[in-house]
Homo-oligomer: A and B are copies of this chain.
Amino acid sequence: MFGFSPAEGAGSMTKQLCSHLRAHIGNGTLPPGLRLPPTRRAAQELGIARNIVIEVYEQLTAEGYLITRIGAGTYVANSIELRSPKSVPPQPAPVPAPVPNRHAGDWIDFDAGTPDLRHFPRKLWSQYMRDVTANEPEHVLDYGDCRGSGALRETLVRYLFRVKGIRCTPDQIIVTSGTSEGCLLLASAFGDMFRAVYVEEPTIGFIADIFKTLHYTVHPVEVDAQGMNVGQIDPSAPQGLLILTPSHQYPTGSILSIQRRQQAVKLAETYGHYILEDDYNSEFRHKGSPIPPLHLLAPDRVIYAGTFSKTLSPAIKLGFLIVPPHLVDRILQTKADLNLSASSLTQMALSRFIEDGHFDRHIHKMRAIYRKRRIFLKEQVQRLFGGETQVLGDEAGMHVQLVFRPEVYGSVDWKGCEAFGVRLSSFDEYARRQGRHPGKIVLGYGKLTEADIAEGLRKLHAFVQSVKSV
C-alpha cells in the first residue's frame, strides 16, 4: 500500500511512513482530495501495528498534509504545491580549520591580544564554577537580571573603589559579556543622539569596527607620547564619543597625560561629547602605582569599560560598564531591547572569586610575571640591537613599542619577518593613514616565556640584519 516498504536502519516505522507519505503527497502521487484507507485497513495491508498508522495520520494532519473530517475519514489536503523538497546532496564534513595555535612549530608570535593563559588558575576557577553550578538556588541557571547579577555588581563597586579609587553605585554598573558587547550596547544606545566616534590613530581596530558596523562615522585623532592629541578635535566637530585608552594606549604604549585628560573632559563638557575609557589592562602597571582612571575626573561624562578577558581569560566572557547616572536608563533600556545578558552562573562564580581575594592574588602574580618578561625583553633588545632601536611605552601592560631608526628602516616591510619565523605587527597595521609610522613595530610579550622572547628577538635580529645588508 502507498508503494511503501520499510528499510532496515532507516529510522522507526512511524518516521519512515511519514517521510514516504510526505514525499508522495509532495510529488502528486497521492493527489489532493484522495481519501486514505481507514487506519485499521491500512495497518493490515502494510502489516504494521494500527497505532503506528494512527500516529502517522495524526502527525501529517498536524503538519497540514492530511485533513481529518470527523466521521468522514482522512483525506490528502488541498493546495500543497507539487514539487519535491530541494534535496541537498550530502556533503562530506570538511576538515575543520585548525584551532588557532600561535605557538605552533617554531613560530614566535609577538601577538598582544591575550594574557598568558598558562597561568590561568584553572583548578581554582573550575571549583568556583562547580560550586555555583551545583549548589546555588535555581535562579543562577535562569536569564537573570538584565543589569547583571546584584552580587557581582556590588563586588565590583568594592573592587573598583579599593583598587582604582572609583566611586560608583551598583546601579551604575552594567555587566556585559566583554568590551565588544559593551561597545555594541553603547553604539545602539547613542544612535539617536549622535553618530560620530573619535578614535586613537593608530589603534587596534575592533572598537571602531563595531561603531562603523552600526553606521557611525569614525574620526581618527593622532596619538603621540602623551596619548590622543585631543586638541586636534575641532570645536565644530559633530557631537560624539571619544574612545580613549588612557592608561596604556595600543600600540604606542602612551599614557594619556593629565593635560590631555583635562582637555578631553573640557571638550566633552563643552560640546556634549561623551568619553569611553577603555581600561583594558591598567592592572598591569610596571612602574609606580596604577594611573588614576580618567573616570575620576568626570564621572558624568566618562563611561568606563572594564574586562576580565585580559586579567583572567577571554573564555570567562565577562566585562562591565560604569555608566553616568543620567545615562543608566537609556543604556539599560537598550540592553533590554537587545535582550543581551551574561551567564548568571559565571557572574556568581566571578563575584565569589573576587570576594575571596583570588582575583587580586592572580593580578599580583601576573604583574610580577609580566614585569620580569618586560625587563628581560628590554635587556635583550639592548644587547642585540644597541642604538638601532628604542623601546617606548613599556610602563604598563603586555606590549612595548620598538622604534627602529627611520632613516635606515623606514621602508622595511615588516611582514618579511615571517620568513624568519617571527610574527609581529607594524604600526601601519593599526593605522588608517598609512606610511606615517616608519620603523615602528609593536611587540606583545605577555604570552611568551623568556626563552621565547630571546628566540623571537634573535629571529627579528636576523631579519633586521638581512634588510640592512640589502
Contact = CB atoms under 8 A, between A and B. Distances in A.
Nearest to A14: B289
Contacts of A296: 85
Tally of this chain's copies: 2
B150 A96 contact: yes
A211 B316 CA distance: 28
B122 A134 contact: yes
A421 interface: no
Nearest to A91: B169
Nearest to A206: B339
Nearest to A396: B62
Contacts of A129: 126, 129-130, 133
A117 interface: yes
A170 to B, nearest CB: 6
A27 interface: no
A231 to B, nearest CB: 10
Interface in A306-357: 309, 313-317, 334, 336-346
Interface in A119-134: 120, 122-123, 125-127, 129-130, 133-134
Contacts of A167: 88, 90-91
Nearest to A99: B139
A120 B141 contact: yes
Given A180-B340, A291-B62, A315-B344, A80 B258 contact: yes
B287 A62 contact: yes
Contacts of A94: 169-171
A97 interface: yes
Contacts of A298: 86
30 contacts: A22-B258, A22-B292, A62-B288, A63-B257, A64-B255, A77-B258, A79-B259, A80-B258, A80-B262, A91-B167, A91-B169, A93-B169, A94-B171, A96-B151, A96-B153, A96-B154, A99-B145, A100-B142, A117-B138, A118-B138, A122-B133, A129-B133, A144-B314, A177-B317, A180-B338, A213-B334, A213-B338, A316-B343, A317-B317, A317-B343
Given A63-B255, A122-B134, 17 more contacts: A14-B288, A58-B288, A59-B287, A62-B255, A80-B259, A88-B299, A97-B150, A100-B139, A101-B137, A129-B129, A144-B314, A181-B340, A188-B213, A206-B339, A210-B339, A213-B334, A214-B214
